[in-house]
Amino acid sequence: MSEPFGRRKSPAGPAGNQPALRLASVTRTYPQGEGTLEVFRDVSLAISPGELVALVGPSGEGKSSLLHMAGLLETPTAGEIYLAGAAGSQLPDGERTRLRREQIGFVYQFHHLLPEFSALENLVIPQLIAGVPRKRAEVEARRLLELVGLGQRLDHRPAQLSGGEQQRVAIARALVNHPRVLLADEPTGNLDPRTANAVIEMLLSLVRGERVAALVATHNLELAAKMDRALVLHAGKLVEGGKLLPEPG
């Protein structure tokens, strides 16, 4: 039976000491007319288990593209993506899909929940796809939804939930298969400030408890300041952004 959420053991041996996610000299360009458009060049970062890193920068700087690279949804023009020390970007499509399913969780600005299914079912379905027996999947789904404060809303469909509740379900769904890495693209961008703050606090608690490596793209500097560190993507380069952030409240 799977371990309770928040109690997953770290990998034994040398792999347990490696970053959960590492980008090594990643470059991404796109054809544009007779030339090329360079989105970013020679980007490197490493995120440890349980660490939350904010990715900040203006719209159009390539934050979403960088998340897509990290999530093996796009192939870098140069460089490599490592998950727990294993190179992933040049693998065949089927292998990349398997790695995404087993090791990466995604959260977006819009929750993308399945509208015809309940909150519980939205967490059960990804587990069934991963081969988890239904009864065990329901236990995991209930546990997670209780942890995010939705234990009384298990049977509610997305339309019956508030925006903040829907995003809580989406975050729980991203973690339900116990990924090594969580990638979040403006996860609170569609919420009012009070709700956004509550959701980010819940996200921080869950990610640290489960020891997931999280890379979170956000425009909100106050939210970014609550994370362990911040990186700024600007003019195709990734730089430490601690001096740009307000002190956490």
Give the model confidence (pLDDT) of 147-173 as tens digits. Answer: 888 888 899 999 999 888 888 899 889
Q: Say which residue, 142 or 4, is predicted with more confidence.
A: 142
**Which phi and psi (to 5°) does residue 17 adopt?**
-95, -5
Where exactly are the structural domains of the chain? 20-242
* pLDDT at 199 exceeding the cut of 70: yes
By the 8 A CB rule, do 8 and 208 touch? Answer: no
The per-residue pLDDT for 246 is: 55
User: pLDDT-derived band of residue 122, with 50, 70 and 90 as boundaries?
Assistant: very high
Pairing status of strand 35-47 against strand 21-32: antiparallel
**H or E, element range at 184:** strand 181-185
* pLDDT at 9 exceeding the cut of 80: no
Note the CATH number of domain 20-242: 3.40.50.300
**pTM for this entry:** 0.81
Pairing status of strand 52-56 against strand 229-234: parallel
The model's pLDDT over 21-69, given as tens digits with 9 standing for 90+, comes to 999 999 888 887 787 888 888 889 999 988 999 998 777 778 888 898 8
Distance between alpha carbon 29 and the CA centroid of its chain, in Å?
23
* pLDDT at 14 exceeding the cut of 50: no
